[in-house]
Amino acid sequence: MNRFSSHGAALVLLAVIFVSLNLFATVSFRAARLDLTQHSLFTLSEGTHSVLSRLDEPVTLKFYYSQKLASEQPGLRVYAERVRDMLEEMATAANGKLQLQVIDPEPFSELEDQAVSQGLVARPIEAGEIIYFGLVGTNMVDRVEVIPFFADERQQYLEYDLVRMVHNLSLPEKPVLGIISNLPLDTGAGGILAAMRGQSQPFLIYAELTDRFEVTFVEAGTVKIPNNIDVLLLAHPRPLTEVQAYAIDQFVMRGSRVLAFLDPQSEVSLTAGPNGEPLKGYTEQSSLPRLLSSWGVALDTELIVADRKRAQRVAAGRDARRALTDYILWMGLTAEEMNADDLITANIDRLNLGTVGALYATPDATTTLTPLVSSSDDASLMTRDYVLSAPTPDNLLRQFEPGAAPYVISARLSGPVNTAFPDGPTGKNDKGVSAKAEAHLAQNGAANIVVFADSDFFDDRFWVSEQNYLGQRFGVPIADNGKFLLNAVENMMGSNDLISLRGRERVARPFTRVLGLRKAAEQEYLQEEETLLARIETAQSELNKLEQGGAGLADANAAAKQYRSELVAARKALRRVQGDLRRDIDRLEANVTCANIITIPVLVGVAALVLAVRQRRRRLATQKAGGLLVETASGSEKGAA
């Protein structure tokens, strides 16, 4: 009885200790977190903590979520829990400056009317019900920011979207970004006519800029860049007049900052408009020779970088044997080609570019040129005239010869800069107004300029997959072009808080082994194809000679038969190359499948077997020891007797 009582008391004591420890942990370690995911997906970044720590006035976030109706939507429910968890983490980190309200707008209630009036979008589900899943943010001056609906496609950008809202609400006013461009950034391919009809579709990268900054276009005849502009973006500008060049020059001399995207061949400028032709006034090239010279950098607009290692895959055209092929004039650069030590490119995983140029430091440069983006080490330069002759992707590969790679595609220029107009302002604008400076400045001792030798960078087709969800237009990035531009503008504005938030948005993990097999096989394929063409040409030439020389019918038939056999043999060789490629990839896939399906269960089984053997040995050892103990005890009793 005593033994049972002691066991019961021990169980009660253990239960009390268990409950006490849980209560203690809940109170004492409420803010403690342990994130074991590979990329710390559930840990707030340093940029988030920095934004939240600098909140001067309270910001209110209203999270509208139809929790009861969404109980039958497992995917949405899991995503909503993640949103709510991150919002609660942010509210905790803000030390009372971020007020979170979770609202369940039931059908036909005042809360539902409130959600609709604030711009939220509902998603219909079965049984005629609708679900709200959005966020409304407000500050003390009644400024409002809205996420109409948390689209599943933007899950990986959740932290950025949330913190960007808070950051925008924390600013008294948006910083001003000036733009000089000959691209239809704000109207899209439709141009001004589409905008007048209300049918314009701005570039998504432009929409990102307007969401974050106060954007203003600088007129062509401006004799001075306004002082309220914090950063000037030159996005494939048309050739500058003396007045415009001087205005930009003095903008830099005043210590302001410039982002210049120039291009030896702008494919985005050739995008067809409503009439099927490029928009009126388009320009295929852009350069700032006088300004670039004073900044200490050069761009040869007659040379285009071709990159064999980072070539993008495009349709192979009429070649039925291959669906895709490498196009070395379009490149998909990876983190290996980015400057990991610069805040602009430290978290860039991929940039998709087309027909880019190469930048060089000039011999008399006073600035320091720091590469931000470069080509791979397997790149070369091709003349613009050859590129404009429209060679096929395979012909480009045949003409490719490695050059002095890597080539600098984007660079930061820092240090002292001398004016490009040492004699002061010259010229007049289109209204006859002279370029006059309030006080001509001849030098800036600490310039900060970023130059990028490509404008196709802005084209939606290169970097984003456009989606339309419940009437809400948004982009799902397939590359980090938009990230790069926002990083650059924010960095030039002096704000680095949001940069770290985009460092883990997308992690590309390509099958490098498969890519290597494909590239090796395609190189062999092209060699085989070139050999085939040579053999066909030789056979055809011999046949022509026989016909011109008056050869008999028997000789001509024999030559034709030889030609056909040569052709069949060459095609067999081509099929062998493609077959070897498929077999290598299938073998690799089979090995991976085997590792996933068989290896792990085998390892678990082996581990279980080892544990069973060890337990059996322990049992045997215990029984043996018990037997010896009994035998010893019996011997002792006999001795005593």
State the pLDDT confidence band at 476, using cuts at 50, 70 and 90: confident
Torsions phi, psi of 575, nearest 5?
-65, -35
Asked whether the beta carbons of 286 and 237 are under 8 A apart, the reply is yes
Alpha-carbon distance of 84 to 90, in angstroms, equals 10
Q: Where are the alpha helices (DSSP H) in 382-470?
A: 384-388, 393-399, 460-463
Alpha-carbon distance of 556 to 549, in angstroms, equals 11
The region of weakest confidence among 150-164, 350-364, 367-381, 541-555 is 541-555
| pLDDT in the model for residue 464 | 87
Adjacent-strand bridge partners of 64: 103, 134
Torsions phi, psi of 610, nearest 5?
-60, -45
| pLDDT in the model for residue 484 | 93
User: Please, what is the angle between helix 553-594 and helix 512-548, to 10°?
Assistant: 180
Q: In this predicted model, which residue has the larger pLDDT, 325 or 16? A: 325
What three-state secondary structure class fits 240?
Answer: coil
State the pLDDT confidence band at 472, using cuts at 50, 70 and 90: low
The region of weakest confidence among 39-53, 258-272, 504-518 is 504-518
Alpha-carbon distance of 565 to 507, in angstroms, equals 50
Alpha-carbon distance of 540 to 531, in angstroms, equals 14
Q: Is the pLDDT of residue 161 over 90?
A: no
| pLDDT in the model for residue 571 | 65
Asked whether the beta carbons of 457 and 351 are under 8 A apart, the reply is yes
Alpha-carbon distance of 588 to 584, in angstroms, equals 6
State the pLDDT confidence band at 507, using cuts at 50, 70 and 90: very low
State the pLDDT confidence band at 439, using cuts at 50, 70 and 90: confident
Q: Which residue has the tokens 């579709």?
A: 201
Asked whether the beta carbons of 450 and 490 are under 8 A apart, the reply is no
In this prediction, residues 185-205 reach a mean pLDDT of 72
Alpha-carbon dihedral angle through residues 469, 498, 460, 76, given to the nearest 10 degrees: -20
Percent of the chain topping pLDDT 90: 33
Structure tokens at 408: 């600098």
Q: Is the pLDDT of residue 191 over 90?
A: no
Alpha-carbon distance of 544 to 97, in angstroms, equals 87
Alpha-carbon distance of 237 to 332, in angstroms, equals 24
Nearest to 290 by CA among 260, 267, 266, 269: 260
| pLDDT in the model for residue 542 | 66
Rounded CA Rg of the chain: 34
| pLDDT in the model for residue 351 | 95
Alpha-carbon distance of 484 to 487, in angstroms, equals 5
Question: Best-predicted range by mean pLDDT among 110-119, 232-241, 342-351, 539-548?
Answer: 232-241
| pLDDT in the model for residue 503 | 41
State the pLDDT confidence band at 423, using cuts at 50, 70 and 90: confident
Alpha carbon 88 to chain centroid, angstroms: 27
Q: What is the number of H-type helices and E-type strands within the chain?
A: 16, 21
The region of weakest confidence among 66-80, 205-219, 354-368 is 66-80
| pLDDT in the model for residue 338 | 95
In this prediction, residues 583-604 reach a mean pLDDT of 70
| pLDDT in the model for residue 520 | 67
Buried b (16+ CB within 10 A) or exposed e, 365-389: bbbebebbbbbbebbbbbebeebee
State the pLDDT confidence band at 306, using cuts at 50, 70 and 90: very high
In this prediction, residues 524-534 reach a mean pLDDT of 65
Alpha-carbon dihedral angle through residues 202, 206, 208, 214, given to the nearest 10 degrees: -110
In this prediction, residues 296-303 reach a mean pLDDT of 96
Q: Is the pLDDT of residue 18 over 70?
A: yes
| pLDDT in the model for residue 361 | 96
Query: Mind listing the pLDDT tens digit for each residue in 390-407?
Result: 998 989 999 999 999 899
Adjacent-strand bridge partners of 480: none
Torsions phi, psi of 21, nearest 5?
-65, -40
In this prediction, residues 369-397 reach a mean pLDDT of 94
Alpha-carbon distance of 290 to 579, in angstroms, equals 55
In this prediction, residues 100-124 reach a mean pLDDT of 89
What three-state secondary structure class fits 80?
Answer: helix
Q: Is the pLDDT of residue 317 over 50?
A: yes
What three-state secondary structure class fits 452?
Answer: strand
Q: Where on the phi/psi map is residue 119: left (φ > 0), alpha (ψ -120 to 50), or beta?
A: left
Nearest to 321 by CA among 582, 583, 588: 582
Adjacent-strand bridge partners of 371: 411
In this prediction, residues 561-579 reach a mean pLDDT of 67
Q: In this predicted model, which residue has the larger pLDDT, 502 or 417? A: 417
DSSP state of 429: -
State the pLDDT confidence band at 505, using cuts at 50, 70 and 90: very low
Alpha-carbon distance of 61 to 139, in angstroms, equals 9
